[in-house]
Amino acid sequence: MKIPFADIKRQYKEIKSEIDVAVSSVIESGAFVRGPFVEEFENQYADAYGVKNCISCANGTDAIYIALKSLGIGLCDEVITTSASWISTSEVVTQAGAKVIFCDIDQNTSNIDVDKLEERITDKTKAVIVVHLYGHPCDMDKITSLCQKHNLFLIEDCAQAHFAEFKGKKVGTFGNIGCFSFYPGKNLGAFGDAGCMVTNDETLAKNVKMFANHGSLIKHQHQIEGINSRLDGIQAAVLSVKLKYIDRWTNRRIEIAKMYNKLLADVSEIQLPLLDEDKKSVFHLYVIKTDKRDELKKYLADNGISTGQHYPSALPFLEAYSYLNHKKEDFPVAHKWSETILSLPMFPEMDNVEAVYVCEKIKEFFRN
């Protein structure tokens, strides 16, 4: 048996007729950049999310960058974020002109360690970017109260967490702004790059919309200099079709996660994702931890099972941040995390037989 890590072609096959019609209608209309299809998707996403504003942009990285710039973050400011994420989260801080301050992660959730977060705050700190990694919500009670106490902006990187919930409230709606990626491999994925921001703050909504479109809200009137970060009509049309299925796909991810949890529960050599009841994860990734990570990864590959590492290095230890001179001991949990994590196959179209096979092979590895 061959089991891919993810398989976006299976999803396309299921909804091919609808997608093909949607894409053709964009081509026939000629509304390729922004326009009616984009507006329609923004409205649908805002409704589905229960927020006043959804502002689309070119990708998830831009979404965070635009948010930072529109909140006025720049030179001399510090922004605190997690040590465990994709580089987008931290590189945009530097791009905005501010200084990125990393914080270690929690050993159980792989999300930012809220207890260590407060120690990182200085009088230069302006914002915190939390990442709901793997689709697991952060502890938003503690984070929002900390941000309120210190008067900090809160940006949520929800690139992996569409419709995840903390205490029944959707992630992305706790802070000033929530940033989403619709990269093809994300839980809600376009057929190319795409992203958006959600916010209930009308002024911020106006500012991000303006910044993303050359500093302009009305054609040829440029109030500020901005960037070109716009959503394509074709991506928006694809996303509108897919949005109808997101609950079903999310539920299926949760079902697969439950199967993994159950079938792997008695393998003492691995740590499964640990989530308390307050958190509804959308399982963008199902990540286990084991000291035998490299051997297990190889064993699974030899048995036709593709796995991933999200991510092979914690952010502070990437070459890009060598100038910060961080040592292992600065972020011990994140360092250990990068050496033990393994992402198992996870996509809604995966069937039970495949999930069972993955678990059997993992058990077989530890039996031998």
Ligand X SMILES: *Cc1c(COP(=O)(O)O)cnc(C)c1O
Residues near ligand X, by CB under 6 A: 59-61, 85-86, 88-89, 131, 157, 159-160, 181, 183, 193, 195
CB of 105 to ligand X, least distance (A): 13
Q: Using the 8-state DSSP alphabet, how is residue 50 labeled?
A: T
Contact of 10 with 351, CB cutoff 8 Å? no
* CA distances (Å), origin 31, targets 35, 220, 235: 6, 19, 11
Please give the Cα distance from 368 to 358 (Å, whole number): 16
CB of 184 to ligand X, least distance (A): 9
Q: Using the 8-state DSSP alphabet, how is residue 136 labeled?
A: P
CB of 181 to ligand X, least distance (A): 3
What is the number of the residue whose Cβ is closest to ligand X?
60
Is the CB of 89 or the CB of 173 nearer to ligand X? 89
Is the CB of 230 or the CB of 361 nearer to ligand X? 230
CB of 117 to ligand X, least distance (A): 17
CB of 365 to ligand X, least distance (A): 28
**Alpha carbon 208 to chain centroid distance?**
19
In the chain, alpha helices (H): 8-29, 36-49, 60-70, 88-95, 114-117, 140-149, 202-212, 233-243, 246-264, 293-302, 332-340, 352-367
Instruction: Write the DSSP assignment of 177-246 as a string of letters.
Output: EEEEE--TTSSS--SS--EEEEES-HHHHHHHHHHHBTTEEETTEESS---B---BHHHHHHHHHHHTTH
Q: Using the 8-state DSSP alphabet, how is residue 105 labeled?
A: B
Is the CB of 83 or the CB of 181 nearer to ligand X? 181
Is the CB of 65 or the CB of 331 nearer to ligand X? 65
Is the CB of 79 or the CB of 264 nearer to ligand X? 79
CB of 85 to ligand X, least distance (A): 5
Contact of 238 with 19, CB cutoff 8 Å? yes
Match 């396309």 to its residue by tokens.
12
Tokens in use for 248?
A: 């079903």
Is the CB of 296 or the CB of 345 nearer to ligand X? 345
CB of 230 to ligand X, least distance (A): 14
Is the CB of 57 or the CB of 270 nearer to ligand X? 57
Task: Identify the sign of the CA torsion 117, 122, 128, 129.
Answer: negative
